[in-house]
Structure 1
Protein backbone atom coordinates (compact mmCIF):
# COMPACT_ATOMS: atom_id res chain seq x y z
CA UNK A 1 0.00 0.00 0.00
CA UNK A 2 1.34 3.45 -0.76
CA UNK A 3 1.69 5.79 2.19
CA UNK A 4 2.23 9.50 1.66
CA UNK A 5 3.34 12.30 3.91
CA UNK A 6 2.08 15.82 3.44
CA UNK A 7 2.84 19.04 5.21
CA UNK A 8 -0.30 20.13 7.06
CA UNK A 9 -0.23 23.87 7.81
CA UNK A 10 -2.06 25.39 10.78
CA UNK A 11 -3.64 28.84 10.75
CA UNK A 12 -6.12 30.81 12.78
CA UNK A 13 -8.81 32.11 10.44
CA UNK A 14 -6.65 32.48 7.31
CA UNK A 15 -6.34 28.90 6.01
CA UNK A 16 -8.61 29.50 2.99
CA UNK A 17 -6.70 32.65 2.04
CA UNK A 18 -3.40 30.77 2.38
CA UNK A 19 -4.58 27.82 0.27
CA UNK A 20 -5.89 30.17 -2.43
CA UNK A 21 -2.51 31.89 -2.44
CA UNK A 22 -0.58 28.60 -2.67
CA UNK A 23 -2.86 27.49 -5.52
CA UNK A 24 -2.09 30.76 -7.34
CA UNK A 25 1.63 30.06 -6.93
CA UNK A 26 1.75 26.31 -7.61
CA UNK A 27 -1.46 25.70 -9.58
CA UNK A 28 -3.79 22.81 -8.85
CA UNK A 29 -7.15 22.51 -7.16
CA UNK A 30 -8.39 23.64 -3.75
CA UNK A 31 -10.73 21.46 -1.72
CA UNK A 32 -12.08 23.13 1.40
CA UNK A 33 -14.36 21.89 4.18
CA UNK A 34 -15.51 24.46 6.72
CA UNK A 35 -16.56 23.69 10.28
CA UNK A 36 -20.10 24.50 9.12
CA UNK A 37 -19.82 22.04 6.20
CA UNK A 38 -18.76 19.31 8.62
CA UNK A 39 -21.43 20.10 11.21
CA UNK A 40 -18.69 20.78 13.75
CA UNK A 41 -19.29 24.43 14.68
CA UNK A 42 -18.46 25.16 18.30
CA UNK A 43 -18.10 28.93 17.91
CA UNK A 44 -20.42 30.65 15.41
CA UNK A 45 -17.75 33.23 14.56
CA UNK A 46 -15.58 30.35 13.28
CA UNK A 47 -18.27 28.53 11.25
CA UNK A 48 -16.67 29.46 7.92
CA UNK A 49 -13.14 28.65 9.04
CA UNK A 50 -11.51 25.66 7.42
CA UNK A 51 -11.76 22.38 9.28
CA UNK A 52 -9.74 20.77 6.52
CA UNK A 53 -8.46 21.84 3.14
CA UNK A 54 -5.84 21.04 0.57
CA UNK A 55 -4.25 22.09 -2.68
CA UNK A 56 -3.31 19.29 -5.05
CA UNK A 57 -1.66 19.68 -8.41
CA UNK A 58 -1.27 17.29 -11.32
CA UNK A 59 2.50 17.65 -10.89
CA UNK A 60 2.41 16.07 -7.42
CA UNK A 61 2.26 19.26 -5.36
CA UNK A 62 0.17 18.68 -2.22
CA UNK A 63 -0.32 20.74 0.89
CA UNK A 64 -3.02 20.57 3.56
CA UNK A 65 -4.26 23.21 6.01
CA UNK A 66 -6.82 24.04 8.65
CA UNK A 67 -7.84 26.81 11.02
CA UNK A 68 -7.07 25.95 14.64
CA UNK A 69 -10.23 26.73 16.65
CA UNK A 70 -9.80 29.46 19.26
CA UNK A 71 -10.50 26.95 22.05
CA UNK A 72 -7.19 25.21 21.21
CA UNK A 73 -3.72 26.65 21.73
CA UNK A 74 -2.03 28.04 18.63
CA UNK A 75 0.91 30.32 18.21
CA UNK A 76 2.26 31.08 14.77
CA UNK A 77 5.84 29.88 14.79
CA UNK A 78 5.39 27.39 17.63
CA UNK A 79 2.97 24.91 16.06
CA UNK A 80 2.53 26.07 12.47
CA UNK A 81 2.38 22.60 10.92
CA UNK A 82 1.62 18.91 11.33
CA UNK A 83 2.96 16.03 9.28
CA UNK A 84 0.07 14.11 7.76
CA UNK A 85 0.50 10.40 6.99
CA UNK A 86 -2.26 8.96 4.82
CA UNK A 87 -2.92 5.55 3.38
CA UNK A 88 -5.81 3.36 2.34
CA UNK A 89 -5.00 0.30 4.47
CA UNK A 90 -6.26 0.52 8.07
CA UNK A 91 -3.95 -2.26 9.22
CA UNK A 92 -0.83 -0.51 7.94
CA UNK A 93 -1.86 2.89 9.31
CA UNK A 94 -2.58 1.24 12.68
CA UNK A 95 0.87 -0.41 12.66
CA UNK A 96 2.57 2.92 11.85
CA UNK A 97 0.56 4.54 14.65
CA UNK A 98 1.68 1.88 17.11
CA UNK A 99 5.35 2.41 16.33
CA UNK A 100 5.12 6.21 16.21
CA UNK A 101 3.17 6.35 19.48
CA UNK A 102 6.06 4.97 21.55
CA UNK A 103 7.09 7.80 23.87
CA UNK A 104 4.54 10.18 22.37
CA UNK A 105 1.63 12.18 23.75
CA UNK A 106 -1.65 11.18 22.12
CA UNK A 107 -3.66 14.26 21.17
CA UNK A 108 -6.52 12.28 19.65
CA UNK A 109 -6.65 8.47 19.70
CA UNK A 110 -6.56 6.60 16.40
CA UNK A 111 -10.22 5.78 15.85
CA UNK A 112 -13.09 6.27 13.43
CA UNK A 113 -13.98 9.88 12.67
CA UNK A 114 -16.82 11.52 10.79
CA UNK A 115 -14.51 12.12 7.82
CA UNK A 116 -12.28 9.03 7.88
CA UNK A 117 -12.41 5.33 8.79
CA UNK A 118 -9.42 5.97 11.11
CA UNK A 119 -7.96 9.28 12.27
CA UNK A 120 -5.56 10.11 15.09
CA UNK A 121 -3.09 12.76 16.20
CA UNK A 122 -0.05 12.53 18.43
CA UNK A 123 3.00 14.55 19.32
CA UNK A 124 6.16 12.49 19.27
CA UNK A 125 9.00 12.64 21.77
CA UNK A 126 10.77 15.17 19.51
CA UNK A 127 7.85 17.62 19.60
CA UNK A 128 6.54 16.90 16.08
CA UNK A 129 2.77 16.51 15.74
CA UNK A 130 1.69 13.74 13.39
CA UNK A 131 -1.78 13.15 11.96
CA UNK A 132 -2.43 9.63 10.68
CA UNK A 133 -5.56 8.68 8.79
CA UNK A 134 -7.08 6.20 6.41
CA UNK A 135 -8.22 7.97 3.29
CA UNK A 136 -11.86 8.17 2.35
CA UNK A 137 -13.37 9.93 -0.65
CA UNK A 138 -14.80 13.37 0.08
CA UNK A 139 -18.55 13.41 -0.57
CA UNK A 140 -19.22 17.09 0.23
Structure 2
Protein backbone atom coordinates (compact mmCIF):
# COMPACT_ATOMS: atom_id res chain seq x y z
CA UNK A 1 0.00 0.00 0.00
CA UNK A 2 1.31 3.43 -0.90
CA UNK A 3 1.06 6.36 1.49
CA UNK A 4 -2.26 8.20 1.18
CA UNK A 5 -3.08 11.82 1.89
CA UNK A 6 -6.80 12.60 2.11
CA UNK A 7 -9.35 14.79 3.89
CA UNK A 8 -10.79 13.66 7.22
CA UNK A 9 -14.11 15.27 8.15
CA UNK A 10 -15.51 15.62 11.67
CA UNK A 11 -19.21 15.63 12.49
CA UNK A 12 -21.34 16.33 15.56
CA UNK A 13 -23.30 13.07 15.82
CA UNK A 14 -24.34 12.72 12.18
CA UNK A 15 -21.27 11.08 10.60
CA UNK A 16 -23.24 7.98 9.58
CA UNK A 17 -25.77 10.12 7.73
CA UNK A 18 -23.09 12.33 6.13
CA UNK A 19 -20.83 9.48 5.01
CA UNK A 20 -23.84 7.63 3.55
CA UNK A 21 -24.72 10.82 1.66
CA UNK A 22 -21.17 11.08 0.27
CA UNK A 23 -21.41 7.46 -0.82
CA UNK A 24 -24.59 8.34 -2.76
CA UNK A 25 -22.65 11.17 -4.44
CA UNK A 26 -19.37 9.40 -5.26
CA UNK A 27 -20.40 5.69 -5.10
CA UNK A 28 -17.78 3.26 -3.82
CA UNK A 29 -17.35 1.12 -0.73
CA UNK A 30 -18.18 2.64 2.65
CA UNK A 31 -16.99 1.10 5.90
CA UNK A 32 -17.83 2.46 9.35
CA UNK A 33 -16.86 1.50 12.90
CA UNK A 34 -18.37 2.82 16.11
CA UNK A 35 -16.55 3.84 19.28
CA UNK A 36 -18.12 0.79 20.91
CA UNK A 37 -16.62 -1.53 18.26
CA UNK A 38 -13.17 -0.71 19.70
CA UNK A 39 -14.20 -0.04 23.31
CA UNK A 40 -12.85 3.47 22.68
CA UNK A 41 -15.20 5.45 24.91
CA UNK A 42 -16.21 5.63 28.52
CA UNK A 43 -19.21 7.84 27.73
CA UNK A 44 -22.26 5.67 26.88
CA UNK A 45 -23.66 8.46 24.67
CA UNK A 46 -20.68 8.00 22.30
CA UNK A 47 -20.96 4.21 21.96
CA UNK A 48 -22.87 4.17 18.65
CA UNK A 49 -21.23 7.26 17.19
CA UNK A 50 -18.89 6.69 14.25
CA UNK A 51 -15.26 6.48 15.36
CA UNK A 52 -14.04 5.97 11.78
CA UNK A 53 -15.76 5.97 8.41
CA UNK A 54 -13.98 5.48 5.13
CA UNK A 55 -15.30 5.79 1.58
CA UNK A 56 -13.14 4.45 -1.25
CA UNK A 57 -14.24 4.83 -4.86
CA UNK A 58 -13.24 2.93 -7.97
CA UNK A 59 -11.71 6.20 -9.24
CA UNK A 60 -9.30 6.19 -6.27
CA UNK A 61 -11.00 8.88 -4.19
CA UNK A 62 -10.73 8.41 -0.43
CA UNK A 63 -12.82 10.34 2.09
CA UNK A 64 -12.71 9.67 5.82
CA UNK A 65 -14.97 10.96 8.57
CA UNK A 66 -15.99 10.50 12.20
CA UNK A 67 -18.16 11.87 14.96
CA UNK A 68 -16.44 14.09 17.50
CA UNK A 69 -16.76 12.40 20.90
CA UNK A 70 -18.37 14.17 23.82
CA UNK A 71 -15.91 16.56 25.41
CA UNK A 72 -13.93 17.32 22.25
CA UNK A 73 -14.25 20.70 20.57
CA UNK A 74 -16.34 20.89 17.40
CA UNK A 75 -16.67 24.02 15.31
CA UNK A 76 -18.70 23.83 12.13
CA UNK A 77 -16.68 25.19 9.22
CA UNK A 78 -13.27 24.10 10.47
CA UNK A 79 -14.28 20.52 11.21
CA UNK A 80 -11.65 18.81 9.06
CA UNK A 81 -8.10 17.55 9.19
CA UNK A 82 -5.71 15.77 6.84
CA UNK A 83 -5.01 12.05 7.10
CA UNK A 84 -1.71 10.40 6.23
CA UNK A 85 -1.84 6.61 6.22
CA UNK A 86 0.14 3.69 4.88
CA UNK A 87 2.60 0.94 5.72
CA UNK A 88 6.00 2.65 5.36
CA UNK A 89 6.82 3.28 9.01
CA UNK A 90 10.00 5.23 8.33
CA UNK A 91 8.32 7.55 5.85
CA UNK A 92 5.25 8.16 8.01
CA UNK A 93 7.19 8.64 11.26
CA UNK A 94 9.36 11.14 9.41
CA UNK A 95 6.27 13.11 8.40
CA UNK A 96 4.93 12.83 11.97
CA UNK A 97 8.16 14.14 13.48
CA UNK A 98 8.25 17.13 11.13
CA UNK A 99 4.55 18.00 11.46
CA UNK A 100 4.37 17.61 15.23
CA UNK A 101 7.85 18.93 15.99
CA UNK A 102 6.98 22.58 15.53
CA UNK A 103 3.30 22.15 16.42
CA UNK A 104 1.41 20.40 19.19
CA UNK A 105 0.58 16.74 19.77
CA UNK A 106 -3.11 16.03 20.40
CA UNK A 107 -2.81 12.22 20.59
CA UNK A 108 0.70 10.75 20.97
CA UNK A 109 1.92 8.33 18.31
CA UNK A 110 1.28 4.93 19.89
CA UNK A 111 -0.41 1.57 19.33
CA UNK A 112 -4.15 2.08 18.73
CA UNK A 113 -6.98 -0.34 19.63
CA UNK A 114 -7.22 -1.41 15.96
CA UNK A 115 -3.58 -2.55 15.97
CA UNK A 116 -1.92 0.26 14.02
CA UNK A 117 0.31 3.06 15.28
CA UNK A 118 -1.70 6.28 15.35
CA UNK A 119 -1.21 9.88 16.38
CA UNK A 120 -2.87 13.27 15.99
CA UNK A 121 -1.20 16.66 15.92
CA UNK A 122 -1.72 20.25 14.88
CA UNK A 123 1.09 21.78 12.85
CA UNK A 124 2.48 25.25 13.41
CA UNK A 125 -0.04 26.66 10.91
CA UNK A 126 -3.07 25.30 12.77
CA UNK A 127 -3.75 22.37 10.40
CA UNK A 128 -4.84 19.14 12.09
CA UNK A 129 -3.12 15.91 11.01
CA UNK A 130 -3.91 12.24 11.66
CA UNK A 131 -1.08 9.78 10.99
CA UNK A 132 -1.83 6.04 10.85
CA UNK A 133 0.91 3.45 10.28
CA UNK A 134 -0.55 0.05 9.41
CA UNK A 135 0.38 -2.77 11.80
CA UNK A 136 2.47 -5.67 10.59
Verify the 8 A CA contact 1:30 1:53 in the aligned structure 2: yes
| Correspondence 1:26 to 2:31 | no
Query: In the alignment, which residue of structure 2 is the partner of 1:97?
Result: 96
Encode CA deviations 1:16-74: one digit per residue, 9 max, x unaligned: 10010000010001100001111123221221100001111111121000000121111
Q: RMSD between aligned alpha carbons?
A: 1.6
Q: 4+ runs of 1 displaced by more than 3 Å?
A: none
Mapping 1:43-58, distance limit 5 Å: 43-58=43-58
Verify the 8 A CA contact 1:12 1:70 in the aligned structure 2: no
Runs of 5+ consecutive residues of structure 1 not aligned to the other structure: none
Query: In the alignment, which residue of structure 2 is the partner of 1:127?
Result: 126
CA distance in 2, matches of 1:55, 1:76: 21
CA distance in 2, matches of 1:75, 1:38: 25
Runs of 5+ consecutive residues of structure 2 not aligned to the other structure: none
Relative to the length of structure 2, the TM-score reads 0.93
Relative to the length of structure 1, the TM-score reads 0.90
